[in-house]
Amino acid sequence: MHAKKAAGFAPALADSRWVKGLLIASALAFLLLFLVLPLVSVFVEALRRGTDAYWAALVEPDAVAAIKLTLIVAAIAVPMNLVFGVAASWCIAKFDFRGKDLLITLIDLPFSVSPVISGLIYVLLFGLHGLMGPFLKSQGIQIIFAVPGLVLATVFVTFPFVARELIPLMQEQGNEEEEAALVLGASGWQTFWRVTLPNIKWGLLYGVLLCNARAMGEFGAVSVVSGHIRGETNTMPLHVEILYNEYNLVAAFAVASVLAMLALVTLVVKTVLEWRFGAELAATRH
Amino acid sequence: MAIQVSGITKQFGSFRALDSVDLEVRSGELLALLGPSGSGKTTLLRIMAGLEFADSGSLQLHGEEALGLSPRERQVGFVFQHYALFRHMTVFDNVAFGLKVRPRGQRFTTAEIRRRVMELLELVQLAHFADRYPAQLSGGQRQRVALARALAIEPKVLLLDEPFGALDAKVRKELRRWLRKLHEDIHITSVFVTHDQEEALELADRVVVMSQGRIEQVGSPAEVYDRPASAFVYEFLGQVNRFDCVVADGVAKAANGAICIPADGTVRGPAIAYVRPHDLGLSPSAGGPGRVSGIHVVGPDARVEIDLAGLPLEAEMDRERLSVLGLRPGDQCAVHIDRARVFPQP
């Protein structure tokens, strides 16, 4: 009986090399077709008329303004989400309170809502005909079709990245190290800086990186609140779209290539971090 | 008096973890809080450390009211069941932590911190592991680091929450002896929580037996073992035979009169009797009321199961004694009870 079974397995084992090869080949082909090829084509299109045209498209005032705006929005949104994310995951992982499940669901909300709707929420709230529109107008504050709106929409869309990364990590680590620090005489701040933060630093960096990539690349929500004013409220993704719609393909792809490079850098840093993070996690796990 | 607990009550939702507990811990003693899980022993320990808040009552540490103090103000050393070492710090930095976080004015110099930490690491025999990380140590070594870290702040009292709970049997025994010796050397007032009666009886100067948020008995290990104050303590400490009996005129009868034991004058009517297996004497007797139903030999000891007129009992003796008696399964025997306690039906 056993011998028969083993005999039945043998051809499958012999085939495995063949199957393995096929699987790897199809996975590679898929990656090549859907990921590598489009990425390469971005750079090819961008450089179609040579490096001079490429540079010209990047240093053109509207493009510079778009790059600047993208950096500004990310520079405000990412630190905000860093603080919110750490605070939210701290409170979810280390404390028990009523409505905790609701809070976790709320944190996930931006992931489940279409970005267009996220943008629309702010238009409905702060727009001229929105809930708070007349009040804001009387105070001379403009949120929609201005930088504050872009920041708000970006913060909303990228909120879950840091929290999602930290909650499971902090839950797994538990409270005991913090309790030990408190009993040993550390203050709340000392406990946070010396015990909690070092324990979550790799996870935090990873979350911030993903958050940043999304903040710079966000299109839908930002598109709704931006108003597409050239040189003023256009971020890089919006600028790419405008150029593309004007059949200015070289310029569109040139700006797109900068975004693509950002994605590549993020990917490399993320891989390095994962490697580092994984090693450290394995070494420090009890 | 090092620690004075009076009327401490703690409620978790509808569960009463501590029900008006009073307890005194004497200076320099090693006290065990012993009880099954859910008896409130860990909650009491955490309240002493300030890691849990009491609903009412008072707690004095060396004569000073402490319930309003934060953990950092109480100067207690706390050792966690799962060590709770800082995983990103070396052994040295773990032990130094309590000294490094002191406010600027009270902080020692770096050299002094180094001297103290190395002295403590010598004490717990881990000086050559100073540069290792916790993950690179065994469970027993980690717990010794945790102990050194707790002692570094020169605590007035040392609190240990199931300190050997996460260790395997052999290491547990070694560490237990080692801790006993350490306590004899440094004589710091210590309270440790355990659910292992053997651990409590071997290690502690005094044992506090807890059940359902109340203290059942406080006494030396010999006292609580030989003279349990309640049926619960009798059952929780060591092996025991428990059977129903009826008390009349100061005599408890069970197994259709096959058992007659003197009872406390205050007990009357239906009651429960407790007899330890080693207080149960057997002698071979062809017409005896008992019948040997099974014999189990465990190391040097033998456990003999007896059927006494339908009542199952267990006797314990050493193997030599058993071979002298020559009892075999199925033999009839006489049963005499050397010592027993009778408690009223709850």
SS3 state of residue A112: helix
- Band the pLDDT of A6: cuts 50, 70, 90: very low
How much is the pTM? Answer: 0.80
Task: Decide if B101 and A190 are in contact by the 8 Å CB cutoff.
Answer: yes
CA distance A67 to B314: 85
Whose CA is closest to A203, among A77, A97, A73, A90? A90
Task: Decide if A183 and B49 are in contact by the 8 Å CB cutoff.
Answer: yes
Q: Report the residue from A179, A184, A185 with minimal CB separation from B51.
A: A179
Task: Decide if A184 and B84 are in contact by the 8 Å CB cutoff.
Answer: no
Q: What is the mean pLDDT of chain B?
A: 91
Apex A99 CA angle, A92 and A79, nearest 5: 40
Arithmetic mean of pLDDT, B44-66: 93
Q: Report the residue from B49, B72, B135 with minimal CB separation from A185.
A: B72
pLDDT of residue B132: 93
Q: Could you identify the residue written with the tokens 């580092």?
A: A276
pLDDT of residue B159: 96
Q: Is the pLDDT score of B314 beyond 90?
A: yes
Apex A121 CA angle, A118 and A125, nearest 5: 150
Task: Decide if A183 and B71 are in contact by the 8 Å CB cutoff.
Answer: yes
Structure token pair of residue B307: 């059927």
Largest CA distance in chain B: 84
Task: Decide if B78 and A177 are in contact by the 8 Å CB cutoff.
Answer: no
Q: Which amino acid is at A169?
A: L
CA distance A82 to A76: 10
Arithmetic mean of pLDDT, A155-184: 92
Question: Does the CB of A96 have a partner CB in chain B at under 8 Å?
Answer: no
pLDDT of residue B248: 86
Question: What pLDDT, in 10s, does the model give residues A98-134?
Answer: 888 898 999 988 888 888 888 888 888 887 777 777 8
Arithmetic mean of pLDDT, B3-20: 93
Whose CA is closest to B128, among B139, B116, B141? B141
Give the distance from residue B101's alpha carbon to the nearest chain A alpha carbon, in angstroms.
5
Task: Decide if B135 and A184 are in contact by the 8 Å CB cutoff.
Answer: no
Question: What pLDDT, in 10s, does the model give residues A54-100?
Answer: 888 888 888 899 999 999 999 999 999 999 999 999 989 888 888 88
Question: What pLDDT, in 10s, does the model give residues A41-55?
Answer: 988 988 888 888 888
Arithmetic mean of pLDDT, B313-338: 90
Q: Is the pLDDT score of A163 beyond 80?
A: yes
Strands B206-211 and B30-34, how do they pair?
parallel
Whose CA is closest to A151, among A233, A207, A52, A95? A233
Task: Decide if A180 and B77 are in contact by the 8 Å CB cutoff.
Answer: no
Q: Which residues of chain A have a CB within 8 Å of the CB of B75?
A: 185
Q: Which amino acid is at A281?
A: L
Q: Is the pLDDT score of B90 beyond 80?
A: yes
User: With a CB-CB cutoff of 8 Å, which residues 184-223 of chain A face chain B?
Assistant: 184-187, 190, 194-195, 198-199
Structure token pair of residue A116: 């267009």
In whole angstroms, what separates CA A45 from the centre of its chain? 26
Q: Is the pLDDT score of A285 beyond 60?
A: no
Strands B76-79 and B251-254, how do they pair?
unpaired
- Band the pLDDT of A12: cuts 50, 70, 90: low
Taking CA atoms, A202 is separated from A165, A205, A207, B27, B67, in Å, by: 10, 5, 9, 46, 38
Residue-range domain boundaries for chain A? 50-284
Apex B77 CA angle, B75 and B78, nearest 5: 130
- Band the pLDDT of A15: cuts 50, 70, 90: low
- Return the H-helix or E-strand segment holding B273: strand B269-275
CA distance B25 to B8: 14
Beta bridge partners of residue B254, listed in sequence order: B259
Q: Is the pLDDT score of B146 beyond 90?
A: yes
Residue B261, phi then psi, degrees to nearest 5: -130, 145
Contacts 24+ apart (CB under 8 A), B12-16: B16/B212, B16/B213
CA distance A16 to A10: 10
Q: Is the pLDDT score of A162 beyond 70?
A: yes
pLDDT of residue A7: 47
User: With a CB-CB cutoff of 8 Å, which residues 100-119 of chain B face chain A?
Assistant: 101-102
Q: Report the residue from B86, B133, B135 with minimal CB separation from A177.
A: B86
Q: Which residues of chain B have a CB within 8 Å of the CB of A187?
A: 72, 101
Give the distance from residue B313's alpha carbon to the nearest chain A alpha carbon, in angstroms.
45
Q: Is the pLDDT score of A217 beyond 50?
A: yes
Question: What pLDDT, in 10s, does the model give residues B213-224?
Answer: 999 999 999 999
> Which of A179, A183, A196, A285 has the most B C-beta neighbours within 10 Å, making it the best mutation to test the interface with B?
A183
Task: Decide if B87 and A195 are in contact by the 8 Å CB cutoff.
Answer: no
Give the distance from residue A199's alpha carbon to the nearest chain B alpha carbon, in angstroms.
7
Give the distance from residue B236's alpha carbon to the nearest chain A alpha carbon, in angstroms.
30
Question: What pLDDT, in 10s, does the model give residues B241-289?
Answer: 999 999 888 888 888 888 888 887 778 888 899 999 999 988 888 888 8
CA distance B200 to B170: 16
Task: Decide if A286 and B76 are in contact by the 8 Å CB cutoff.
Answer: no
- Band the pLDDT of A183: cuts 50, 70, 90: very high
Whose CA is closest to A107, among A162, A60, A183, A148? A162
Structure token pair of residue B153: 């702040």
Taking CA atoms, A156 is separated from A77, A130, A153, B254, B283, in Å, by: 9, 18, 5, 76, 84
Q: Which residues of chain B have a CB within 8 Å of the CB of A284?
A: 87-88, 133-135
DSSP-derived secondary structure letter, B256: G
Question: What pLDDT, in 10s, does the model give residues B26-48?
Answer: 999 999 999 999 899 999 999 99
Give the distance from residue A178's alpha carbon to the nearest chain B alpha carbon, in angstroms.
9
Domain A50-284 has CATH 1.10.3720.10: yes
Question: What pLDDT, in 10s, does the model give residues B191-230?
Answer: 999 999 989 999 999 999 999 999 999 999 999 998 899 9
CA distance B229 to A202: 55
Q: Which residues of chain B have a CB within 8 Å of the CB of A177?
A: 84-87
0.95 surpassed by complex ipTM: no
Contact A166, A89 (CB under 8 A): yes
pLDDT of residue A286: 39
Residue in chain A closest to B95 (alpha carbons) equals A184
Strands B64-65 and B241-248, how do they pair?
unpaired
Contact B10, B210 (CB under 8 A): no
Contact A90, A282 (CB under 8 A): no
Residue B9, phi then psi, degrees to nearest 5: -125, 140
Q: Which residues of chain A have a CB within 8 Å of the CB of B49?
A: 183
Q: A–B: how many Cβ contacts below 8 A?
A: 79
SS3 state of residue A248: coil
Q: Is the pLDDT score of A5 beyond 60?
A: no
- pLDDT > 90: what percent of chain A? 29
pLDDT of residue A155: 92
Question: Does the CB of A95 have a partner CB in chain B at under 8 Å?
Answer: no
Task: Decide if B149 and A180 are in contact by the 8 Å CB cutoff.
Answer: yes
Give the distance from residue A160's alpha carbon to the nearest chain B alpha carbon, in angstroms.
26
Beta bridge partners of residue B291, listed in sequence order: B307, B332
